[in-house]
A and B are shown apart, each in its own frame.
Chain A
């Protein structure tokens, strides 16, 4: 079991997630865009989905979301579910392109962030909270999505390293000797 843990992607994802959480709780709380807090941990989960597909994105989102819940004191699982959805949505990129361009990845990271941010109050409604919607929900979703897309060029390589995803290697077919 220990060997499986060491060989899995979690051994890299957890420390990187801790650093991202620390960034989220320190610098990003102060650096707000139009009063909205950018979500770097959510963006990392979405980036994992965009680079590794829905399954890996879901696993990364779940782990990062659970870490977020543990340190923030929010109900354990509430953020994990939302981040899982973010990873799955961003992972839909693999359905339309095998080797996507960077801008296409950025778009899907943004979509994943939007889905994850929108899911947060939805999960809160399911656990009985009254009126968890921020007053400016559309603006929050838009800015978080744009922020995630902007951060994707940095976060996608990090997520690839965390999840041990190798780049696709296209090789030209060997030339057939003419008969």
Chain B
């Protein structure tokens, strides 16, 4: 048939070969292609801005149509969670400050001495393979390729491409992402019932949100100081009342808090009481205080909080490599070989960056928790699936840690 002549086939083959040639040149690094890429990105910028302005009503209409119910419920749940967390924030900040002082006292590296650049996520991945977002800060702000990117929950990725005013961030879930991490064993509990759940869009299942909302209504907690919905927050506002960087606690700081309700001091009873407690107060057979006639006494309750420190000797640090596995799959931590101490690692253990002279990220940036453990046959170590602290589907404001590995600083 005339439609598929030899000449037309040659055109198609020539295009495919040209594509392969460009691929080879680009993967080996070519300054000409890099400058073309940079120039095209600059040319696209005004077109994108104009398109964004024109299509904003469409985006908002779609968002209102598809997310309204979820957002309303999520908003209620988040307000309640803010109230719950406000009480613990002060204690947590004090602990972090103590930790940083201890590190400084012992001349140990700390995240607090590293500068960061605050940025806003302005674009997401446009295909269904790459896990890359774009932020509105670039080399003008001191950002360079390889620097780690965090949000308030922990590590989210690393810089892979930098222009003057924008940068591309490869997320932890991208299959090309890998980083050295340490796992603090002995924190979690071997609970096979903990499974990764598919939640959207808040990271909570509808049942969890219902539970929180119901709890919120019961508690009737005031929410007058919620964020003003009229204006969008700036990065400075978002990070205003925050400790310098999300930083994992040292193993010695891991604590478990239990709350116990105890009765107040019991009035001294008469000697005719059938039974007395160690303080000689009359009690009935169930241990409840009673008066002289044997009637139960209504007592006011007091609450005491007991803080139990975990034994550092029970904690074990292991080092592995975290690798992304693509959209919809939790990242994995791999170990090169199986050693007896890996048996300590279990579901719930904390994951944080390991640092090191060649690592692209400083140590002690929290990453996530182990949600699944799979033991491989032979001498290969176990595989750990982790749930990230950061919700990568809801990225808004992030910070680029202006960190360079020691090896590069020396150069």
CA distance A79 to B128 in the complex (A): 12
- Residue in contact with B175 in the complex, picked from A19, A75, A132, CB distance below 8 Å: A132
Q: Say yes or no: B126 contacts A28, CB within 8 Å.
A: yes
- Residue in contact with A27 in the complex, picked from B11, B59, B127, CB distance below 8 Å: B59
Contacts of B23 on A, CB cut-off 8 Å?
75-78, 81, 123, 127
Q: Say yes or no: B168 contacts A73, CB within 8 Å.
A: yes
Evaluate whether A25 and B123 lie within 8 angstroms (CB atoms) in the complex, with A71-B40, A75-B26, A75-B27 already known.
Answer: yes
Contacts of B176 on A, CB cut-off 8 Å?
129-130
Q: Say yes or no: A26 contacts B326, CB within 8 Å.
A: no
CA distance A88 to B3 in the complex (A): 12
A21 contacts the other chain (CB 8 A) = yes
Evaluate whether A29 and B124 lie within 8 angstroms (CB atoms) in the complex, with A77-B21, A129-B176, A132-B129 already known.
Answer: yes
Q: Say yes or no: B128 contacts A144, CB within 8 Å.
A: yes
Contacts of A65 on B, CB cut-off 8 Å?
19
Task: Report the count of interface residues on A (CB-CB < 8 A).
Answer: 58
Q: Say yes or no: A71 contacts B41, CB within 8 Å.
A: yes
CA distance A164 to B203 in the complex (A): 49
Interface, chain B (partner A; CB < 8 A): 1, 3-4, 8, 11-12, 15-16, 18-23, 25-27, 33, 36-37, 40-41, 43-44, 47-48, 50-52, 55, 58-59, 62-63, 123-130, 132, 160-161, 168, 175-176, 325-329
Interface, chain A (partner B; CB < 8 A): 18-19, 21-31, 36-37, 39, 53-55, 58-59, 62, 65-68, 70-81, 84, 88, 94-95, 117, 120-121, 123-124, 127, 129-136, 140, 144
28 residue pairs A–B, Cβ–Cβ below 8 Å:
A21-B44, A25-B126, A26-B123, A27-B55, A37-B127, A54-B12, A58-B12, A59-B15, A66-B22, A67-B40, A72-B126, A73-B132, A76-B25, A76-B26, A76-B33, A77-B21, A77-B22, A77-B23, A78-B23, A79-B127, A84-B16, A95-B1, A129-B176, A130-B175, A130-B176, A132-B175, A134-B327, A136-B328
